[in-house]
Amino acid sequence: MAAQQLPSSPPTASEPAADGLCVDGLNAWYGQAQILHGVGLNVGPGEIVALLGRNGAGKTTTLRAIMGLVRRSARQLGFRGADIGPMPPFAIARRGLGYVPEDRRIFTDLTVDENLETGRQPPRPGAPQWTPERLFELFPNLGRMRDRPGGAMSGGEQQMLAIARTLMGNPHMVLLDEPAEGLAPRIVEDMAAALLALKREGLSLLVAEQNLNFARLLADRAHVLAGGESRFSGTMAELDADPDARDALLAV
């Protein structure tokens, strides 16, 4: 296996800049079970990076560990020059790192507008700024149901709302967990277009994904996980050329 590329050798495409996310030697636990074993990855400013792996590879756990939502330890856990390792989740979010979970976790009792309000944070210099009106331009569906409770929305609408809610925090970077999961093919394309629009605004994204084709639509680079360990890091072209990494990705 060409496994041990990470974390010993520095990543290729962009250096772990002071204004990106830089993770090294990340371990995470659910109860007694250690799920992540020394995961390393980095995301530069304005980049879209895909976090790839099969079911159960540890993608979700990696994102949750970065946010501080599971018990974790790391050699390095830097975001825009700050060590977020000791921080609780809310403090990480307030440094401009957003998170959209796999299961969306919309507040079902709250209306669309109220859901957006829960994500609101003050404007952040250097990061794209969002208002409900701007978000409704990005996701026109939402604008037509501002008073609808989150529980009465379709899965696709909830996904848009989950992303919009996180954007209300004016983040520099968003961790997105399987944004296209369960969406109809046409909506998947809309989603990819919306995410690329976000990139043009200057937002960086780390997108956990099983679907290599969706990742290809978006990503500049990819990290591959298997069994809670890093298996590959490089550009999409390098990924296609690496048989071991492709093995780790083949759907079960």
Partner 1 sequence: MSFWIAQFLTGLASAASLFLVASGLSIIFGVTRVVNFAHGAFYMVGAYVAWSLTERLSGAFGWWGGVLLAAAAVAALGALAEILVLRRIYQAPELFQLLATFGLTLVAADLVVMLWGPDELVGRRAPGFTGSIALFDQMIPAWDLFLIALGPVALGLLWLLFNRTRFGVLVRAATQDREMAAALGVNEKWLFTGVFALGVFLAALAGALQLPRESVNHHMDLRIIVDAFVVVVIGGLGSITGAFVAALLVAQLNAFGILLFPKISLVIIFLVMAAVLAVRPWGLLGRPDVAQRPPAATSARPWRPLGGAGRLAMAALVLAAAALPFVSGDYLVIAATETLIFAILAVSLHVLLSVAGVASFGHAAFFGLGAYGVALAVKGLGLGMGAALALAPLVGLVGAGLFALAAARLSGVYLAMLTLAFAQILWSIAFQWVEVTGGDNGVLGLWPAGFAAQPAGFYWLTLGLAVLVIGVSRVIMFSPFGYGLRGARDEARRAASIGVSPGLMRWCAFAIAGTGAAVAGALFAFLKGSVFPDTLAIPVSVDSLVMVLLGGVQTTLGPLAGAVAYKALSIWLLSQTQWSKLALGLVILAVVLAFPRGLVGVVNQWRDRWLTQRRPGHGEPP
Ligand X SMILES: Nc1ncnc2c1ncn2[C@@H]1O[C@H](COP(=O)(O)OP(=O)(O)OP(=O)(O)O)[C@@H](O)[C@H]1O
Q: In the complex, which residues of this chain contact ligand X (CB under 6 A)?
A: 30, 33, 35, 53, 55-61, 102, 210
Rank residues 33 and 250 by Cβ distance to ligand X and give the closer one.
33
Piece of 53-61, 66-74, 177-185, 205-213 that binds partner 1 (CB under 8 A) = 66-74
Within 44-165, strands assigned E span: 48-52, 71-73, 76-79, 82-83, 97-100
- List the alpha helices (DSSP H) in 168-201: 185-200
Residue type, 170: N
Choosing from 9, 71, 83, 196, the residue that interacts with partner 1 (CB under 8 A) is 71
Rank residues 37 and 216 by Cβ distance to ligand X and give the closer one.
37
To ligand X, the closest distance from the beta carbon of 131 in angstroms equals 32
Tell which positions 93-112 bind Mg ion, by CB under 5 A: 102
Kindly state the tokens that stand for 52: 């790839």
Distance CA 148, CA 214 (A): 30
Distance CA 75, CA 233 (A): 18
Least Cα distance to 48 among 194, 222, 211 occurs for: 222
Q: Does 169 bind partner 1 (CB under 8 A)?
A: yes
Tell which positions 20-49 bind partner 1, by CB under 8 A: 25, 27, 29, 31-32, 34, 37-38
Residues that bind Mg ion (CB under 5 A): 60, 102
